[in-house]
Amino acid sequence: MKKFMEKCYKCGTNVKVDKSIKEGVALDCLKCPKCGEEYFTSSELVKFDIMTGKRKLVRKFGVLGDSTVMRFPSKVLKNYDIKPGDYGVFENRPEGILIKPIHAKDIS
Ligand SMILES: [Zn+2]
């Protein structure tokens, strides 16, 4: 893990790369040997949310035959009124992939 900071914000002691167990999930962190303060990167915190099921809108990539598939949360389908037969257009964005739903009924 990259040391993204040198000194503890609380007491100014040099922090060390360490592991922290939060609710049974092992996370990389920087820990202050003096006051015990732990510092996490945002990706470690996202990992924690995923492992503990705290992010409701996370899905795992799966395999179906030769294809990679992902199940959609029913809430998303409902919010965007997506029905079987509709299309999803993938657009590359700096922060990730945007899926733009196109309803089959709108293009027929
Ligand atoms: Zn400290």
With cut-offs at 50, 70 and 90, classify the pLDDT of residue 55.
Answer: confident
Q: How far is the CA of 24 from the centre of ligand 1 (A)?
A: 24
* Domain tally, the chain: 2
Checking if the pLDDT of 54 tops 90, the result is no
Q: Give the Å distance between the CA of 3 and the centre of ligand 1.
A: 15
| Å from CA of 1 to ligand 1 middle | 19
Full residue range of the structural domain in which residue 26 is found: 1-56
What percent of the chain stands above pLDDT 90?
Answer: 87
Are 4 and 41 part of one and the same domain? Answer: yes
Q: What is the pLDDT of residues 22-50, one digit of tens each?
A: 999 999 999 999 999 999 998 899 999 99
- In whole angstroms, how far apart are CA 56 and each of 38, 43, 44, 50, 96? 26, 17, 17, 8, 18
Kindly give the distance from the C-alpha atom of residue 15 to the centroid of ligand 1, in angstroms, as a whole number.
Answer: 7
Same-domain pairing of 33 and 13: yes
**38 and 68, same structural domain?**
no
What pLDDT was estimated at residue 108? Answer: 81
**Residue whose C-alpha is closest to residue 76's, from 92, 57, 55:** 57
Interatomic CA distance for residues 77 and 54, integer angstroms: 20
